[in-house]
Amino acid sequence: MWLEILLASVLGFVIYWFASKDKEETLPLEDGWWGPGVRPTAGEDESIRPFKVETSDEEINDLHQRIDKVRLTPPLEDSRFHYGFNSNYLKKIISYWRNEFDWRKQVESLNRYPHFKTKIEGLDIHFIHVKPPQLPSGQTPKPLLMVHGWPGSFYEFYKIIPLLTDPKNHGLSDEHVFEVICPSIPGYGFSEPSSKKGFNSVATARIFYKLMLRLGFQEFYIQGGDWGALICTNMAQLVPSHVKGLHLNMAFILRNFYTLTLLLGWRFGWLFGYTKRDMELMYPFKKIFFNLVRESGYLHIQSTKPDTVGCALNDSPVGLAAYILEKFSTWTNPEFQDLEDGGLERKFSLDDLLTGVMLYWTTGTITSSQRFYKENMRLDNKHEGIKVHVPMGFAAFPCELIHVPEKWMKSKYPKLISYSYMPRGGHFAAFEEPELLAQDIHKFMGLLERQ
């Protein structure tokens, strides 16, 4: 008992000492070329070109032929989603995909927002750019960059966009009206993949910063979850004077002494600033730890040899769907593993889920999207040790893969001004709970402007 108290006290002092070192440091901006071959001597074409999502009979027929030839392995009795995607429920997905899912209709839905492409650092960057349909008198829209993660896409933001660009007509205050830009990470969907090794989150952040400048925004707001959270964090580390505010619904707190408090926190949470809600979300530690291990198998594969599994997934639409949609089950709620259908249709429609899969299938980008893990899982990531000195807001969704307490957040983001315990929701916040996320973004903006 006394030894535990002594260890906790020493650890608390060490944390305080490191947290008090608040040196403002930024990442070097640098430059890059990720297109094929050698960088041309001529200047890059900076034009912004309209883009439209399209499909064809050939594309749809090929999909159907591959679906028709699927081979499935029967699941174990009473296995539900404990062994991964249950093939009995997968049969329902396959039947709907083959016989009822209307890809042409979904393409029309994708095109309801304006799409564009532009060349940056040798890559064709895809993005949607949605302006407010109307503005209150004397008000200008706030430019907001929203960045997705894996295995998501720009489509995750389709339901939250109206709540940000046209809040009054969707039950929210029009005190803050946004102009929303949602790019596709290079190698995801319609953004061209890198031809060279080393393309990581910092390179992506720099490209998205250049995109915002190209669109005429010298100052802007940014929001993200999953890889989007890291990319937005890197943007704030690269160009803090251009980022007016940062809002996240996931955070990567790695090189931080607070993480060492996990084993002692169940006894001395009060000493480390943990709230009652923090304790509920982090303990019992054994359960949380094994849940994280169970859900991170993909991480080890994609961080080491992404191209190997990519060969299989890029060749089989059914395999791709199982691999992706499993994440939309247990990452939305870990308890969904106990259900025969993985709980998928409790939060999402099959049309929305399959549209997300189709954005990987039709573009052939599952392998390039997985390479992003290998490029970012390095021991020499300088950004992990750099604090973020821009105003920041955080939405802590209870079913996120790992809970990050406010104390942890402040050690990395000292200008945290808004921290919210969300009442429900998991990893795919904008896709699953657009109203809750939009409300928290509006709340953050209100606090930011009152500062």
Is 373 in the active site? yes
- pLDDT value of residue 22: 58
Quote the domain boundaries for residue 56: 48-449
Total of domains in the chain: 1
Which one is catalytic: 274, 427, 440, 442?
A: 427
Question: CA–CA separation, 181 vs 196, rounded Å?
Answer: 26
Per-residue pLDDT 10s for the chain (451 aa) are 433 433 444 444 444 444 445 568 999 999 999 999 999 999 899 999 999 999 999 999 999 999 999 999 999 999 999 999 999 999 999 999 999 999 999 999 999 999 999 999 999 999 999 999 999 998 999 999 999 999 999 999 999 999 999 999 999 999 999 999 999 999 999 999 999 999 999 999 999 999 999 999 999 999 999 999 999 999 999 999 999 999 999 999 876 666 667 767 667 677 778 999 999 999 988 888 899 999 999 999 999 999 999 999 999 999 999 999 999 999 999 999 999 999 999 999 999 999 999 999 999 999 999 999 999 998 888 999 999 999 999 999 999 999 999 999 999 999 999 999 999 999 999 999 999 999 999 999 999 999 8
Helices 227-238 and 201-214, axial angle in degrees (round to 10) = 70
Please report whether residue 31 resides in a domain. no
Please report whether residue 11 resides in a domain. no
Please report whether residue 149 resides in a domain. yes
Residues near 408 by beta carbon (within 8 Å), at least 6 away in sequence? 251, 253, 256, 258, 259
Phi and psi (nearest 5°) for 156?
-55, -25
Please report whether residue 14 resides in a domain. no
Please report whether residue 298 resides in a domain. yes
Question: CA–CA separation, 94 vs 111, rounded Å?
Answer: 25
Please report whether residue 41 resides in a domain. no
Q: 238-275 burial by CB neighbour count: b if 16+ within 10 A, else e? A: bbbebbbbbbbbbbbbeebbbeebeebbeebbebbbbe
Please report whether residue 251 resides in a domain. yes
Please report whether residue 196 resides in a domain. yes
Is 176 in the active site? no
**402 exposure class (CB count in 10 Å sphere: 0-12, 13-18, 19+):** middle
- pLDDT value of residue 259: 65
Residues near 311 by beta carbon (within 8 Å), at least 6 away in sequence? 367
For residue 160, the domain's CATH number is: 3.40.50.1820
Which one is catalytic: 226, 247, 274, 440?
A: 226
Which one is catalytic: 188, 360, 373, 413?
A: 373
Is 62 in the active site? no
Residues 30, 35, 41: CA angle, nearest 5 degrees: 75
The encoded tokens of residue 364 equal 């052939």
* Max Cα distance, the chain (Å): 73
